[in-house]
Structure 1
Amino acid sequence: MKVFKFGGASVKDAEGIKNVAVVLETQGFDGCLVVVSAMGKTTNALEKVVETYFEKQDFQIKLEEIKQHHLNIAKELFTPDHSVFKRISDFFEEANSFLQRNKSPHYNFVYDQVVSSGEMVSSIILSNYLQEIGFNNSWCDAREYLKTDTNYREANINWEETEKRISSLNPNQCYVTQGFIGSDENSFTVTLGREGSDYSAAIFAYCLNAEAMTIWKDVPGVMTGDPRKFQNVSLLENISYEEAIEMAYYGASVIHPKTLQPLKQKNIPFFVKSFLEPTKKGTKVGSNLEKNHQESFILKENQHLLRIATRDFSFIAEEHLSLIFSLLAKHKIKISLMQNSAISLDLCVEDMYGLIDHLLTDLTTGFKTELIRNVSLYTIRNAKLEESTKFYQNKNVLLEQVSQKIIQVVIN
């Protein structure tokens, strides 16, 4: 069985849905599982619904706008009497009903129950459209297959139960399912973290012993830099799992960091291709591939630079580091880069859940802190060290780190 994953950009409108069918026709639709994300910017729009709900404002207006947007897309694909329209309305009514009766004050729990609607609706539309044009498939609810803990918004997979459930799928059939979502032991919906649809596809591929997995993007494959951010970038046709994991670690947005481990464990070939040019080669990620030595550029935006120092000018010692890291874990703040001196620690961090101010409150009891918000982290891999300064010559560099042909700079 082959696993294909289509992101939000590939299914953002009716033409995108039609193009997915074209892509599948070029690849062969026999024995495949299609994992699909929410349409376009739907996840962002549903996040606004949750924010509005917690602000005790009228969330129903925003939810109705999202529903109508999906119904309008469906009107371009189906006859007016098609059952898909009721299915779309039912999913959004379910989200509305949940918010009306909800008693939980926990933001992350509520978030997962509502935001998951995007994947449910996009997969229903795609599955029904494929059925209409002759691609027989079964729609399946990923929440019945991906079982997790209760770490809402970034759940951890229960691999034993998940593998047992996914292995029950028929490898000779075709399926359409959702990325990004699963369910806990009480069948409440959970999400796997932003951009978690790639990870979902890798989980399905691992449990199905897939012959290959392909992620369809709006770029030709894995590039030496995001073409929207950097000039003169080129395609990396073959890279090893190890190199891809390293690129994901440094923030290459084309690959979700968690995606690669399950694929590597079973040596499942992994391809990144363009849904705009599906017959082109793209990038292959696999084992025993020659290491790439091309210079590549990675940009992580929406970062914060946190400077921590002891109040009494004592050294930053093990007990200080232990406390700092425990507080970072408590507030789910991820480190992108760190650098320490005798009496201070500089951290470039990512605040996915908006908890950085809570962290600062906890830290100020024992440390002096300084926070510079909204900085960018640039990473140059396989850097040509003698030419590297040209890259950030006229930029305000707040932090620089150079090691083994890897240059990282934090820029304001």
Structure 2
Amino acid sequence: MKVLKFGGSSVANAENIQKVIDIILSQKDNHAIAVVVSAMGGVTDRLLKIASLAASADDTYKTELEELEQKHLTAVRSLLPIQQQSATLSLVKQHCNELESICDGVYLLKELSLRTQDKIVSFGELLSSRIIAAKLESLGVQQQWVDSRDLIVTNSNHSNAAVDFAITNERISTWFKANPSTYYLIPGFIAANLAGHTTTLGRGGSDYTGSIYAAALGVSALEIWTDVSGMMTADPRLVTNAKPIEHISYQEAMELSHFGAKIIYPPTILPVMLKKIPVWIKNTFEPTAKGTLIESHTEGANDFIRGISSITGISLLSLEGSGMVGIPGFSKRLFEALANEQVNVILITQSSSEHSICVGINEADTLKAKRVVDYAFSYEIQTGKVDPLVVETNLTIVALVGEQMKSHPGVSGKMFGSLGRNGINIRAIAQGSSEKNISAVIATKDVKKAINVLHEVFFETSYKQLNVFIAGAGNVGSKLLAQIQQQQLFLQNQLNLQVRVVGIANSKKALLADQGILLDEWQSLLASASVSGIDEFVAQIQEKNLRNSVFVDVTANEGVAKVYGRLLEKSISVVACNKIACSSAYDEYQQLKSLAREYNALFLFETNVGAGLPVIGTLNDLLRSGDKVNKIKAVLSGTLNYVFNHYDGSKPFAEVVRQAQTEGYTEPDPRLDLGGTDVMRKIMILAREAGQQMEMEQIENRYFLPQSCFEGSVEHFYTEMAKQEPHFKALFDKASAEGAKLKFVATYENGRASVGLEHILPSSDFYHLYGKDNLVLFYTDRYPEQPLVIKGAGAGADVTASGVFADIIRVARI
């Protein structure tokens, strides 16, 4: 005989239930099969919600009940032939009517006891198991429905009842001998006390139900069917490329489940382990996948680390003092004091000098532990022999699990070294002589990062994951997100790089999602996100502490630029489209570059000059290869080039500028472009990257805009430009008379920089520069007369976004 247990996702709807039926029928091999099922996916949570609504006197519980009933009726109609539906539809309605009556009572009393709650949630498993039993019956398959409340006996600890195995095993054995069948359908999760009142076995208790039946019947195997292909090397919610574990021992499985592995409910292992019954973890949606086999022992050296897991909510208690050295009994007194207060010790470590002893306990026990230990050692503390107990909170134990670690030297060093290189401080370590588990205590804020680091070190990863936080959801930000969405699959398949956008913020709201934001829905998700400023957004980035994080600034906001240092100090790379940081005071610019070097992060700002053109990258390559930049001449404003290429006096200058803004070529305030400020910033950034210490006030600006255009609002600016049309027409006419074009040119030479309008003759490289194109000429020792030329679109959301995207990809290569 075998026991098969199917979880909520496996029986979530009629389509999935049909997959379950196919699996059940494919297993027939002259052995009886007991099938344990959970409630349909989401039903237990909905039942708890219904109970809560009723207890709160919220009559919307009735609507929820109606929807729940329809969910099960729909499943019946989808699964059963129409002529065989009547009895099962009636049974579903009968159960739902009973459920409604109980909820009506809760609503009237405004009271919900755990006993009543157990009764309410039991209907999920009762309904799903009855429907599946009816489906088998409709196929002419011999089956019996088993009421677990008649066979599994527990105490009265409702919602997490303890099983009385002596009575339970006897009842199960006797019932099955008296009721032979080919198939048995069993509701999981539910049981009853000796008085016959319904109890439940805790969330995840359907696994436990399967184990209870398997052990009582002495079956050949217990199969737990879920929605993943076995136990995983790490929590897939923390490590997206976690892998299935093919083979694991009972002890290893218990260690992993103890340290938080959710694929199997921790109490499940013990009953089958005592009977040495193998357990398979299988995937309902990929039944041919091997899954995970759990049994007495494992073999093989290639996967001696079975998995990585963690326990959060840990406190460290450190007892230290010179008076402890050479005096026996200190450890005994410490553990005795904790034991008398029912404080469980999870981890122990002691220095070889006997100067200190450290224990890890549940954080909930911290206050009483501190009180009893200080009292137990009050004399030694008063006399200075021992220091008052030191308590550290907000800690997590991260554990490597594997029975074969003892035959592989260097595991501990590899573990601790990798954590240290990633800036994760280890507060305590513990390793038993059996070496099935190596534990390290770290700050809880670092746990996700730590598990990802360890997984990369001990398990081959199929791709590198890059976690992207974007500040700015306007024109450039929108284009960037569209480009990332378009390229995600290509990058993963071709470069083994998974680019996940996990944060998006605009000037008012911030959207964050640890598993990645759905990029086809980001606008609506951001619109409904919580209100948040840049400081809150950065605080959340730091709190998440994701490995391989990159912050992308596609704003023109000074406040956003000021947070770069805080991010770099946390080893978070920064990609900036925003020019404010790099054009700020020279010391601030250098500080950011220094922080990037110190904390092993990148500070990239290619799009500060030339949008998507490789201007800064090319300049850096020249310098790194030993060349020297002597002069730079450039048209660096796509906006100004667009404006002067389109202005011929036939329509007002102000109208041409407004058109440029409408098409997305200008800064939010066009005066930054037309006043030359934007070009000044760009040439200063190039001069700094070339090694020149330069400030904005050192750059000469030959303004062409009348001073009156700089006063008032942006709309006033347009009004004033219209009034100054004769001035702009005169500039154009003068250049035309010389056979020249107007271009706004930036120059850097001999440590000096300037910007301003120039008359460009046909012989110049700048003459045939059309549309919004930029052109940069690098005159260097290697290119003294014929400069190195970089030319292309220097403005526009698409090309700017592509330049930002290229910088993001560069971050992935560190």
Give the TM-score normalised by structure 2.
0.43
Map of 1:5 onto structure 2: 5
Map of 2:145 onto structure 1: 139
Q: Give the Å deviation of 1:338.
A: 4.9
Q: Describe the shift of the 1:119–1:364 C-alpha distance in structure 2 as closer, same or farther (beyond 3 A).
A: farther
Determine helix, strand or coil for the equivalent of 1:294: coil
Structure index of larger Rg: 2
Aligned-partner Cα distance in 2 for 1:128–1:175: 12
Map of 2:42 onto structure 1: 41
Map of 1:295 onto structure 2: 305
Map of 1:257 onto structure 2: 266
- Residue 197 (structure 1) aligned to one of 189, 206, 228: 206
The answer to which of 64-73 and 265-274 deviates more is 64-73
8 Å contact from structure 1 (residues 43, 118) kept in 2: yes
Q: Give the Å deviation of 1:43.
A: 1.4
Aligned-partner Cα distance in 2 for 1:36–1:95: 20
Aligned-partner Cα distance in 1 for 2:227–2:345: 26
Determine helix, strand or coil for the equivalent of 2:154: coil
1:226-251 Cα deviation digits (max 9, x unpaired): 44532554443332222222222222
Aligned-partner Cα distance in 1 for 2:230–2:188: 20
Aligned-partner Cα distance in 2 for 1:280–1:85: 35
1:57-106 Cα deviation digits (max 9, x unpaired): 33333333322222233332235643222222222322222233367966
Q: Give the Å deviation of 1:280.
A: 3.6
Aligned-partner Cα distance in 1 for 2:390–2:74: 50
Map of 1:347 onto structure 2: 361
Q: Describe the shift of the 1:228–1:309 C-alpha distance in structure 2 as closer, same or farther (beyond 3 A).
A: closer
* Structure 2 runs not aligned, ≥5 long: 320-329, 351-355, 375-388, 406-410, 446-814
8 Å contact from structure 2 (residues 162, 201) kept in 1: yes
Aligned-partner Cα distance in 1 for 2:145–2:213: 15
Q: Give the Å deviation of 1:21.
A: 1.2
Of all paired residues, the percent bearing the same amino acid is 30
Aligned-partner Cα distance in 1 for 2:72–2:215: 32
Aligned-partner Cα distance in 1 for 2:136–2:390: 55
Report the AA paired with residue 117 of structure 2: Y
Between Structure 1 and Structure 2, the one with more helix by share is 2
Aligned-partner Cα distance in 1 for 2:415–2:135: 50
Q: Describe the shift of the 1:222–1:343 C-alpha distance in structure 2 as closer, same or farther (beyond 3 A).
A: closer
Matching of residues 370-381 of structure 1 within 5 Å: 378-381=398-401
8 Å contact from structure 1 (residues 304, 348) kept in 2: yes
Aligned-partner Cα distance in 2 for 1:215–1:100: 36
Q: Describe the shift of the 1:340–1:209 C-alpha distance in structure 2 as closer, same or farther (beyond 3 A).
A: same
Q: Describe the shift of the 1:336–1:228 C-alpha distance in structure 2 as closer, same or farther (beyond 3 A).
A: farther
Map of 1:28 onto structure 2: 28
- Aligned length, in residue pairs: 391
Aligned-partner Cα distance in 2 for 1:83–1:261: 39
Report the AA paired with residue 305 of structure 2: E
1:120-170 Cα deviation digits (max 9, x unpaired): 111111111122233331112111111111111111112222122211214
Matching of residues 108-127 of structure 1 within 5 Å: 108-127=114-133
Q: Give the Å deviation of 1:391.
A: 5.2
The answer to which of 214-223 and 141-150 deviates more is 214-223
The answer to which of 254-263 and 225-234 deviates more is 225-234
Aligned-CA RMSD value: 3.6
8 Å contact from structure 2 (residues 230, 244) kept in 1: yes
Aligned-partner Cα distance in 2 for 1:296–1:309: 31
Aligned-partner Cα distance in 2 for 1:144–1:395: 55
Q: Describe the shift of the 1:187–1:32 C-alpha distance in structure 2 as closer, same or farther (beyond 3 A).
A: same
1:37-66 Cα deviation digits (max 9, x unpaired): 111121122222232233333333333332
Report the AA paired with residue 71 of structure 2: H
Q: Give the Å deviation of 1:396.
A: 6.8
Determine helix, strand or coil for the equivalent of 2:185: strand
Aligned-partner Cα distance in 2 for 1:104–1:191: 22
- Residue 85 (structure 1) aligned to one of 85, 89, 99: 89
8 Å contact from structure 2 (residues 426, 440) kept in 1: no
Aligned-partner Cα distance in 1 for 2:203–2:226: 16
Aligned-partner Cα distance in 1 for 2:118–2:154: 13
Q: Describe the shift of the 1:369–1:105 C-alpha distance in structure 2 as closer, same or farther (beyond 3 A).
A: farther
Q: Give the Å deviation of 1:219.
A: 2.0
Q: Give the Å deviation of 1:33.
A: 0.4
Matching of residues 1-400 of structure 1 within 5 Å: 1-28=1-28, 30-58=31-59, 59-79=61-81, 81-101=85-105, 107-167=113-173, 168-169=175-176, 170-230=179-239, 232-290=241-299, 294-299=304-309, 303-305=312-314, 317-318=334-335, 320-322=337-339, 324-325=341-342, 337-338=346-347, 346-348=360-362, 378-382=398-402, 384-389=411-416, 390=418, 400=428
1:10-30 Cα deviation digits (max 9, x unpaired): 111111100001112332275
Give the TM-score normalised by structure 1.
0.81
